[in-house]
A and B are shown apart, each in its own frame.
Chain A
Amino acid sequence: MSTTENNAVDSNHHADDHHHGAPKGIKRWFLTTNHKDIGSMYLIFSLVMFFIGGAMAMVIRAELFQPGLQIVEPDFFNQMTTVHGLIMVFGAVMPAFVGLANWMVPMMIGAPDMALPRMNNWSFWILPFAFLILLSSLFMEGGGPNFGWTFYAPLSTTFSNDSTAFFVFSVHIMGISSIMGAINVIVTIVNLRAPGMTYMKMPLFVWTWLITAFLLIAVMPVLAGAVTMVLTDKYFATSFFDAAGGGDPVMFQHIFWFFGHPEVYIMILPAFGIVSQIVPTFSRKKLFGYSSMVYATASIALLSFVVWAHHMFTTGMPLAGELFFMYCTMLISVPTGVKVFNWVATMWRGALTFEVPMMFSIAFIVLFTIGGFSGLMLAITPVDFQYHDTYFVVAHFHYVLVTGAIFSIMAGAYYWLPKWTGHMFDIGLAKAHFWLSLISVNVLFFPMHFVGLAGMPRRIPDYATQFADFNAIISIGGFAFGLSQILFVVVVYKCIKGGDKVSDQVWEGAEGLEWEVASPAPYHTFSTPPEIK
């Protein structure tokens, strides 16, 4: 430790000589090319989006609190479910991971910054405009997008409202931003690793992000193609998805899910990376099966390209197609299982402590696995006919995305927050945030399994009376989960403002380059590359 610590300190002084720290004022944020500034902006942006998307979820849950229509009309309800989905996927989860990558990837591989700092600035700053466009469409006459975040044609083409063009443009901008971010991550990891940092020495978070970035490059353009076709079908009389002109509405679903399934892994692979950083730290033991983790991640990524049609079993595929996609989907559970087993084996015979990041990680492992189980159930085609488009599916993907992706982001935020700010966060409040989130999220999503099995379809504003009790419970869980997240903001705010000073290593068992620089991490790190032994 001691040698590299000197090194880091040296590089600080070195940096200060040239730059004298961060520039001041609002200009700093508009023009910054510093990976830490941009990382912070991404994280704050995603937090804001998390609350906006969350507010929409609250509207949805309030309407579903009891049967009958009380608060919103069905058309607005559909706009809420649509925009909630879009914001959470493209505005909250993805930018949060990009923010974490911006902050941590250069520090983990001993690079001074991202490889393409100016592009980094652009890829962030176009994002707020994308969401301004999307959100403003809600206030237009006729309302915003109301066809579900999956925008199936012809509901999104012939039968959609006039704001569809705004939806399309905002998705285009989100896509461009993601692609630029992904290019940056790849170039950084390929070119800027410190001497001696071979691929198989890279921390797992870096590995999972490298693979995620390739997925992004592969599928975001396909999404761009899909929305472009929707645009031309609606406004320029093409017939990609219109049977009258020789097109096929089911083809839309094939193209969409060719993007959509890898997208699911885009939102979960970095989560695997974060958890793989945290679990060893608090087990005080090296990650079990590092190389198998890397291979498992890669094989999940590859398999994600051949399972897309499991979202479409009910569209009427030939038997051979249904069987192929069923088998491939079941196969994905093998590498995913390997990851879970590896985490458990890492904890096995470690010396465990349960700091807040570890609590979130353990919750992640358990609850993500539950989401994985329901995923396996959904893979079985004959039974999927029963589960498809019910609350069982809603429960499944919220377990994977909320207690999966979002819990891992929370874990990562608590894990690295002291490194970012130089202060320990308010542990009591953070623990309260964890326990309240954990309990409420399960009150929110677990009963959805039962409601789905009992036959409640998703995306409906009103439901039969037998679902009433469970929906009331779900809504209460939803409000509690939403309120609990305010605690997170308080913890983060307090931690930025002050708190106990932390050491450079912060956590007792933490290993890796990011723990060898000073806390808070100086504005410029690793201006001279560290030596990796």
Chain B
Amino acid sequence: MTAKQSSWLLSAAVFANNAVAEEMPLNLTKGVTEISRNVYDLHMIIFYICCVIGAVVFGIMFWSMLYHRKSKGVAPANFHESTKVEILWTAIPFVILIAMAFPATKTLIAMEDTSKADLTVQVTGSQWKWHYKYFDHELEYYSLLATTKDEIYDKREKSVNYLLEVDRPLVIPTGQKVRFLITSDDVIHSWWVPEFAIKKDANPGFINEAWTRVDVPGIYRGQCAELCGKDHGFMPVVVIAKEPAEFDKWVSEQVEIAKKAKEEEQKLLAMNMSFDELMAHGEKAYNANCAACHQPNGQGIPGVFPALKGSAIAIGDLGAHIDIVVNGKPGTAMQGYGKQLGLKDLAAIITYERNAWGNSTGDAVQAAEVIKYMSGQ
């Protein structure tokens, strides 16, 4: 981490730095869907209503503050009750509210109508990434933050989409009704894309629905909106909207790639990777997937995330080690990575954990060993 002082010195540079970044809008986004535009209109109507009420009330008050001062020699009036006025200023806001309730209700009903969807995507939140699964295609993947630790810790310049970039964005077609079935694997998360005016909580064990129909192709960025633990600020949502034809092409490509990857893995089973190769690949994969909790130095965070350096698991029985990495530890933040990582990554990570930071078991773990624990044979 950079020293405290340097962060303060840097502060002057912050303003200059931001020139490259996107200018921050001062108002709610209009978004790219009919719903989001309705929401924007509602936002502006209620905002203007508040402005008018504010101008009237504060106007009267400031008038009074200017002209009804004791220093001007005024004598205080004596009135302190008027049923008529009271009724009036109860009734007027009431009428305004009713007028406001109509468009709000209409938009809300439209938002909740998830019928007749063209495409369904299952969205699953987990600490701290999103998982997308296309209901009618053999395609599913995790979407992880792509911003590097170095950028976060000020060791490298921050990219334009700092913290709002992922390795594999969700891709959806434009002009079609896309339905999202949202749920969670652990704690409550919330899937939010401002441009679609969608924010829905992902509740463990339950599914929530939302939908969108995007008009304009583009890249849309959002974030997890419900506090979900340590890296809540580091699980962005990125959605790419493509023309339907392009989308179809993309899907079939991806399905093909996924199939190939599976075949690759089968081949991998027959091969042995060298120790050095495993260590080199393992370090990368470890830092991408494990270091958020167990820390790059393997020392964890005392009381929260256990250390791996010198731990009974990492230098003890190999089987137990593979089992915990592949299948996780129920009831804790330790997820099973068998679901999300390939065999090569898993084998490399386990090798790395058993031989880094002074752990010196000398084990070189191969894909074939890992798969034993995935199939339960």
Interface residues, chain A, CB within 8 Å of chain B?
Answer: 65-71, 73-75, 78, 140-143, 146-148, 152, 154-155, 158-159, 161-162, 243-244, 248-250, 283-292, 314-316, 319, 322-323, 326-327, 330-331, 333-334, 337-338, 340-341, 344-354, 362, 365-366, 369-370, 373, 376-377, 380-383, 385-386, 388-390, 450-451, 453-455, 457, 459-470, 472
Contacts and interface: CB of A to CB of B under 8 A. Distances in A.
Contact of A347 (B26, B64, B104, B112): B64
Given A70-B2, A330-B100, A351-B69, A465 B50 contact: no
B285 interface: no
24 contacts: A70-B2, A71-B4, A143-B303, A159-B333, A243-B204, A243-B206, A249-B205, A287-B80, A315-B208, A316-B200, A337-B53, A344-B57, A348-B77, A349-B79, A350-B64, A350-B68, A351-B75, A377-B47, A380-B42, A451-B24, A457-B192, A464-B164, A465-B17, A468-B17
Contact of B71 (A142, A244, A353): A353
Nearest first, the 10 A-B pairs at minimum CB distance are A142-B303, A243-B205, A460-B233, A141-B303, A316-B208, A465-B21, A70-B7, A373-B50, A349-B77, A286-B80
Given A142-B304, A315-B201, A386-B199, A350 B81 contact: no
B70 interface: yes
Contacts of A340: 57
Nearest to B31: A386
Contacts of A316: 200-201, 203, 206, 208-209
A505 to B, nearest CB: 16
B303 A453 contact: no
Contacts of A465: 17-18, 21-22, 158, 160, 162
Interface stretch (B116-124, B136-144, B149-157): B149-157
Contact of A462 (B76, B163, B194, B333): B163
B234 to A, nearest CB: 7
Contacts of B109: 319
A390 B194 CA distance: 11
B201 A382 contact: no
- Mostly, the B contact residues are mixed
Given A323-B105, A386-B28, A469-B24, A334 B93 contact: yes
A392 to B, nearest CB: 9
Contacts of B234: 74, 462
A338 B90 CA distance: 6
Given A382-B39, A466-B21, A351 B158 contact: no
Interface in B298-324: 301-304
A69 B24 contact: no
Nearest to B27: A453
Given A338-B89, A383-B43, 14 more contacts: A67-B162, A68-B151, A147-B229, A285-B76, A316-B201, A349-B64, A349-B68, A377-B50, A385-B39, A385-B199, A386-B39, A386-B43, A386-B194, A465-B21
Contact of B225 (A71, A388, A451, A453): A388
Contacts of A451: 24
Contact of B39 (A244, A383, A464): A383
Nearest to A349: B77
B169 interface: no
Contacts of B201: 250, 314-316
B54 interface: yes
Contacts of A345: 85
Contact of B23 (A284, A453, A466, A472): A466
Contact of B89 (A152, A287, A337, A365): A337
A74 B149 CA distance: 13
A453 B104 contact: no
Contacts of B69: 351-353
B186 A159 contact: yes
Contacts of A74: 230-234
Given A159-B186, A323-B108, A284 B46 contact: no
Contacts of A289: 80-82, 86
B163 A464 contact: yes
Given A75-B230, A285-B80, A382 B194 contact: no
B29 interface: yes
B1 interface: yes
B288 to A, nearest CB: 17
A514 to B, nearest CB: 20
A412 B90 CA distance: 28
B35 to A, nearest CB: 8
B162 A464 contact: yes
A142 B127 CA distance: 18
A286 B86 CA distance: 16
Interface stretch (B8-16, B241-249, B264-272): B8-16
Contacts of B199: 314, 385-386, 388-389
Interface centre among A143, A386, A466, by most chain B C-beta atoms within 10 angstroms, is A386
A326 B204 CA distance: 26
Contacts of A290: 80-81
Contact of B303 (A162, A382, A468): A162
Interface in B268-288: none
Given A319-B112, A337-B93, A373-B54, A351 B304 contact: no
Given A143-B304, A155-B188, A472 B79 contact: no
Contact of B187 (A159, A250, A382, A463): A159
B34 interface: no
A243 B202 CA distance: 13
Nearest to A472: B14
A160 to B, nearest CB: 9
Contacts of A341: 57, 89
A468 B17 CA distance: 9
B358 interface: no
A101 to B, nearest CB: 25
B38 interface: yes
B76 A466 contact: no
Contacts of B127: 159
Given A78-B230, A147-B227, A353 B70 contact: yes
B25 interface: yes
A461 B194 CA distance: 20
A370 B19 CA distance: 32
B108 A381 contact: yes
B60 A348 contact: yes
B188 A152 contact: yes
Given A155-B228, A380-B100, A450 B80 contact: no
Contacts of A383: 28, 39, 42-43, 46, 104
Interface string B58-98: 10110011001111001111111110011001100110010
Contacts of A467: 24
A350 B197 CA distance: 48
A71 B7 contact: yes
Contact of A333 (B39, B93, B161, B163): B93
Contacts of A66: 7, 10-11, 14
A344 B60 contact: yes
Contacts of A382: 35, 38-39, 42, 104, 107-108, 111, 197
Contacts of A288: 79-81
Contacts of A457: 192, 223-225, 233
A319 B108 CA distance: 8
A393 to B, nearest CB: 10
Given A330-B101, A383-B46, A351 B76 contact: yes
A339 B160 CA distance: 48
